[in-house]
């Protein structure tokens, strides 16, 4: 197959249950992966859990269990969340897998061979919650005057023997990369932040720890485990078969990965990761996209703080596709977004139940009742029909352009423009009335509407896959006629359709 496309989520810390921020990242990445599959690209989509480090070790100690027992339990929850949310990952990686130890040790050795790793002594601030080292100048004062990381998390003064990575040697090369490849870090605002951080000068990075042992052992250095971010970032290579560079999956890495991550971890992905890869003489990712944070009524939530919303519960309440659609349509991809019960209900009732759902329900029930459940003959198209199809073509093109720019929400906006146009068309043409005065015209309108629903279902399939497939089932479309190429193969008149069913229930507040 041609045209490989490799896309990843961050791998989550399984120190607690998944929250809605994790669900959001998985859903957005899944939507992009599905979009590219529907476009005919050969997609590898990976996700997983980041199981080492002090944060995991401490969370396990607090529960009086071993880190691996905690990881086993919680990683299962992350995977289950992905399954419930219909996340079409090809590989769920756990960093405790033997293959991942091999990959992490291989990239370590490659960095050693380059002369970029040396033994020293780390003295500085460390935030367990962020799993990050901070310079004195980056710290902020807390309410009681205590020192906090720039993310507002507690920091500890840490002194230990450590291996260092010569990050300082890569500042110029990184700045050149951001300049030459302006899309390497997106959105632009995040690129500017990272570039100014790098311009401020880079210090070498402490990349091993000796004060605990929950990590990947550093090769040939007893007592040292790798700094969790070295091993975590390497997951993206492990999933492509690294260190085997000629195996069946290596081409995905070589095509340039797209890493979808949250804004809090852009520095790790856009500074450390390309520097490690340059050191190891490996190809770089194509893009690091830092999405925004989901706020619960305007407030940041996190596992450690404890104001966490369970995404599986939300999917049970509103429906999987309702939750997916809301997050993809309502949050401007790259910016922070807020959610509330009212916002979800308003958006889903308007766009899904009253928009696409109503159109399908009305058209297909007339075909079932009055047309014997068979797709009617259109005859020669009228101007209004031609205009509607032109609207659909334009929406498909626009959505494609927006998706290239990662503007998921505007891509859906363009498609829902066509949903509105189709609803206006259907109301104006009024096939239920035409049936009495001009049956051939009624058939034509019903055909055009059914064909429009078919195209719309294909166009939204990356966002709301199960509902789109249910619509395509109602139109008796075979599995191999559901990708973007099939947009050009219109519905065959005479096709027998199954009895219509409502696909998008309207939310009614309990009395
Ligand atoms: O950072 N809204 O793991 P993690 C949106 N293991 N996204 C959010 C969010 C929110 N409220 N809270 C977190 C880690 N995220 C590391 C990653 S990758 C090699 C290692 C996002 O479980 C966060 O930005 O803390 C990150 O992209 C992902 O969820 C996992 O966060």
| Residue 209 Cβ contacting ligand 1 at under 6 Å | no
CA of 436 to the centre of ligand 1 (A): 59
Q: What are the structure tokens assigned to 143, written together?
A: 């309410």
Q: Going by CA atoms, what residue is nearest to atom 7 of ligand 1? A: 21
Name the pLDDT band for 3 (thresholds 50, 70, 90): very high
| Exposure string over 36-73, b if 16+ CB within 10 A, otherwise e | bbbbeeebbbbbbbbbbbbbbbbbbeeeeeebeebbbe
What are the pLDDT digits (tens) for 79-96?
999 999 999 999 999 999
Does ligand 1 come within 6 angstroms of the Cβ of 418? no
Measured in Å, residue 235 CA sits from the centre of ligand 1 at 15
Kindly report, residue by residue over 295-339, the tens digit of the pLDDT: 877 666 655 556 668 999 999 999 999 999 999 999 999 999 999
- Nearest ligand 1 atom, CA 12: 22
Using the predicted structure, report yes or no on whether residue 423 has a pLDDT greater than 70. Answer: yes
Q: Rounded distance, CA 60 to CA 212, Å?
A: 13
Answer yes or no: is the C-beta of 51 below 6 A from any ligand 1 atom. no
Range with the poorest average pLDDT among 125-139, 305-319, 463-477: 305-319
Q: Indicate the DSSP class of residue 268.
A: I
pLDDT tens for residues 134-186?
999 999 999 999 999 999 999 999 999 999 999 999 999 999 999 999 999 99
Nearest to 298 by CA among 335, 334, 336: 336
Which atom of ligand 1 approaches the CA of 300 most closely?
11
Rounded Cα gap, residues 185 and 286, in angstroms: 9
Which of 333, 331, 357, 355 lies closest to 343, judged by CA? 331
Residue 265, ligand 1, Cβ within 6 A: yes
Output the residue whose Cα is nearest ligand 1's atom 26. Answer: 262
Q: Is any ligand 1 atom within 6 A of the Cβ of residue 236?
A: no
- Cα(300) to ligand 1 centroid in Å equals 12
pLDDT at 308: 67
Query: Is residue 259 in contact with ligand 1, taking CB distance under 6 Å?
Result: no
DSSP 180-247: H-TTSEESHHHHHHHHHHHHT----EE-EESS---SPBPTT-TT-EE-HHHHHHHHHHHTTTTT-SSS
Dmax of the chain from CA atoms? 88
Cβ(314) – ligand 1 distance below 6 Å: no
Q: How open is the CA angle 158-160-163, to the nearest 5 degrees?
A: 120
Ligand 1 closest atom vs CA 260? 27
- Whether residue 262 has its Cβ less than 6 Å from ligand 1: yes
**pLDDT over 90 for what percent of the chain?**
95
Q: Is the CB of 264 under 6 A from ligand 1?
A: yes
Q: What is the mean pLDDT of residues 15-42?
A: 97
Shortest-distance atom of ligand 1 to CA 295: 11
Q: Is the CB of 239 under 6 A from ligand 1?
A: no
* Ligand 1 pocket mutation pick from 26, 48, 233, 264 by most atoms within 8 angstroms of CB: 264
Q: What is the pLDDT of residues 243-289, one digit of tens each?
A: 999 999 999 999 999 999 999 999 999 999 999 999 999 999 999 99
Pick the residue whose CA is nearest to atom 3 on ligand 1: 12
What was the pLDDT predicted at 305? 59
Confidence of residue 106 (pLDDT cuts 50, 70, 90): very high
The Cα–Cα gap between 78 and 48 comes to: 8
Q: Is 59 in the pocket of ligand 1 (CB under 6 A)?
A: no
Percentage above 70 pLDDT, the chain? 98
pLDDT, position 296:
79
Average pLDDT over residues 480-489: 98
As a whole number of angstroms, the distance between CA 194 and CA 303 comes to 26
Task: Give the model's pLDDT for residue 511.
Answer: 80
Counting ligand 1 atoms within 8 A of each CB, the residue from 12, 50, 232, 307 with the most, and so the one to mutate, is 12
The per-residue pLDDT for 13 is 97
Tell me the average pLDDT across 417-429. 98
Ligand 1 neighbourhood includes 275 CB (under 6 angstroms): no
Inform me whether the pLDDT recorded for 1 exceeds 60. Answer: no
Report yes or no: 136 and 144 within 8 Å, Cβ to Cβ.
no
Residue 261 in contact with ligand 1 by CB distance below 6 A: yes
Q: Output the residue whose Cα is nearest ligand 1's atom 9.
A: 21
**Strand (E) or helix (H) holding 156:** strand 156-165
Rounded Cα distance between 27 and 330, Å, is 13
Nearest CA to ligand 1 atom 24: 262
Tell me if 351 CB under 6 Å of ligand 1.
no
ipTM of the shown complex: 0.99
Check whether 32 has a pLDDT greater than 90: yes
Å from CA of 304 to ligand 1 middle: 12
């Amino acid at each position: 197959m041609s045209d490989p496309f490799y896309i990843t989520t961050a791998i989550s810390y399984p120190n607690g249950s998944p929250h809605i921020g994790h669900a959001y990242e998985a859903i957005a990445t899944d939507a992009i992966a599905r979009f590219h599959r529907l476009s005919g690209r050969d997609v590898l989509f990976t996700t997983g859990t980041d199981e080492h480090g002090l944060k995991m070790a401490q969370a396990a100690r607090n529960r009086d269990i071993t880190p691996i027992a905690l990881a086993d339990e919680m990683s299962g929850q992350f995977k289950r969340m992905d399954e419930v949310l219909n996340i079409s990952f090809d590989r769920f990686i756990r960093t405790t897998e033997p293959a991942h130890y091999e990959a992490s040790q291989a990239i370590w050795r490659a960095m050693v061979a380059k002369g970029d790793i040396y033994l020293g002594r780390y003295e500085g601030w460390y935030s367990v919650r962020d799993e990050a080292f901070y310079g004195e100048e980056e710290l902020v004062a807390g309410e009681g005057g205590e020192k906090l990381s720039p993310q507002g998390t507690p920091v500890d003064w840490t002194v230990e023997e450590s291996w260092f990575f010569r990050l300082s040697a890569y500042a110029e090369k990184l700045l050149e990369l951001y300049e030459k490849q302006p899309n390497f870090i997106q959105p632009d605002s995040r690129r500017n932040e990272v570039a100014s951080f790098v311009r401020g000068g880079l210090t070498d990075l402490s990349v091993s720890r000796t004060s605990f042992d929950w990590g990947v052992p550093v090769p040939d250095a007893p007592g040292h485990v790798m700094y969790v971010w070295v091993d975590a970032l390497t997951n993206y290579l492990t999933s492509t078969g690294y260190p085997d560079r000629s195996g069946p999956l290596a081409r995905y890495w070589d095509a340039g990965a797209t890493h979808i991550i949250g804004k809090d971890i852009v520095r790790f992905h856009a500074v450390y990761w390309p520097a490690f890869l340059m050191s190891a003489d490996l190809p770089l990712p194509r893009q690091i996209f830092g999405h925004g944070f989901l706020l619960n009524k305007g407030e940041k939530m996190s596992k450690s703080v404890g104001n966490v919303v369970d995404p599986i519960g939300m999917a049970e309440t509103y429906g999987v596709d309702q939750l997916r659609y809301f997050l993809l349509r309502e949050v401007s991809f790259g910016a922070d977004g807020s959610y509330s019960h009212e916002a979800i209900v308003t958006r889903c009732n308007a766009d899904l139940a009253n928009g696409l759902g109503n159109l399908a329900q009305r058209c297909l029930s007339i075909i079932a009742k009055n047309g014997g459940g068979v797709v009617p003959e259109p005859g020669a198209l009228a101007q209004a029909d031609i205009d509607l199809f032109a609207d659909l073509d334009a929406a498909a093109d626009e959505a494609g352009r927006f998706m290239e720019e990662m503007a998921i929400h505007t891509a859906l906006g363009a498609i829902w423009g066509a949903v509105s146009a189709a609803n206006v068309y259907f109301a104006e043409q009024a096939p239920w009335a035409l049936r009495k005065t001009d049956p051939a015209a009624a058939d034509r309108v019903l055909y055009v509407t059914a064909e429009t629903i078919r195209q719309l279902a294909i166009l939204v399939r990356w966002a709301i896959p199960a509902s789109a497939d249910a619509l395509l089932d109602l139109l008796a479309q075979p599995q191999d006629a559901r990708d973007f190429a099939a947009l050009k193969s219109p519905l065959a008149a005479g096709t027998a359709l199954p009895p219509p069913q409502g696909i998008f229930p309207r939310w009614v507040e309990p009395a």
